[in-house]
Amino acid sequence: MLQRCYNNPRHTRTRAAPAARRAHRSGRRGNLPPLKAAAGCVGELCEDPWGQDEDVANGEDVDIYRDTALRYAGYANEVGESFAVFLPPFGVPLSYAVAITYVCFDSVDKGKRAQKKEFEFTQVDDDGSPALAFGSAAADAMVWQLLASVAVPGSVIHTTVAATSHLIHDTDVGSAAHATVLAQVGQDLAPALDVAEAWTPTLVGLAAIPMIVHPIDEAIHKLLNVSLRPAIRDVATLQLGDAAGAVVRAMLMASGNDDTQQEVLEDEQVLGVTVDSNDEFDVTIEPAKDVATWTTRAAILVCGASAPFGLFAISDAVFGTVH
């Protein structure tokens, strides 16, 4: 553990007795899932850190932003980019407004969930950790969503639609294909061919959405694991010592579900967060204090966040604006 934290009164933290914490979580105990056993988890926090089975059965833990139809609001801008040619000038910006509004509400929700989880882990609420858990999870969710759900997919769909439209309407290949098809179907079907050509960019854009989701999610996940999340961990460690592990775990779990438990466990290893058999958290990585590390993290995050805007600019310069 980070012994310096225990020698510094500023990092002293009073924790509830293990028996009290176990009693508090008595309703969430169960058999150790094979997933967690394989990951080497020990202690009651690993037995059922999610508490989803019981909560969902009681209707208490339904994430309306991730587990209901409301989640599709996050795709609004991608759909807007796909239908850009048919929308009025304010249509695409409005679709982005819908998606960003969804992101803001989801981020606040994840902050509240992390705050609740962190208290369940530690039973301490007078050391600033609840506020830190809320802010960490809200910031992590907002940055991840703005990049993975709004900016990056929006720029990719924008480019896909623009490139398809350019190929059909502004190139010799498109003109030749039009003439060939028209010769085959006859002049009587020329209006139908025009309609098909008008709709093709939109259909290509819509078809691309499910294909790009997973690669983009993975890329943004890796981006944050080497930039924002280590920074959050270090800030929490400097404030709370090893107890920062509870904040980091709560942050990661706030956006998780049954399908992402393995990912959360892997992220904890990457960020150096462990929990022992006595439910005591440990942060195995010393917080960075040198300017170079913090500058590198900031540069990585800024470059990643700037990439979609660069793609927008390149697309408009090469293919023109779809309207």
pLDDT digits (tens, 9 = 90+) for 210-269: 999 999 999 999 999 999 999 999 999 999 988 899 999 999 999 876 566 788 888 989
Bridge partners of 267, per DSSP, are none
The pLDDT of residue 39 is: 40
Instruction: Tell me how far apart the alpha carbons of residues 95 and 72 are, in angstroms, rounded to a whole number.
Output: 12
Average pLDDT, the chain: 83
Rounded (5°) CA angle 30-34-37: 85
Q: What is the band of 30 on the pLDDT scale with cuts at 50, 70, 90?
A: very low
Q: How far apart are CA 217 and CA 66, in angstroms?
A: 14
CA 62 to CA 144: how far, in whole Å? 21
CA distances to 1, 74, 271 from 69, rounded to whole Å, are: 44, 10, 32
Which pLDDT value is given to residue 259?
64
Indicate the pLDDT class of residue 24, thresholds 50, 70 and 90: very low
Dump pLDDT digits (tens) for 177-197: 989 998 998 888 889 999 999
Q: In whole angstroms, give the CA distance from residue 197 to residue 146.
A: 32
Res. 293: pLDDT tops 50:
yes
Confidence of residue 152 (pLDDT cuts 50, 70, 90): very high
**132 to each of 10, 111, 115, 232, how far by Cα in Å?**
16, 9, 8, 9
- Stronger pLDDT, 246 or 13, i.e. the higher one: 246
- Could you report the per-residue pLDDT of 155-179, keeping only the tens digit for each? 999 999 999 999 999 999 999 998 9
Q: How distant, in Å, are the alpha carbons of 73, 96, 120, 206 from that of 209?
A: 14, 15, 38, 5
Dist CA 119 CA 253 (whole Å): 13
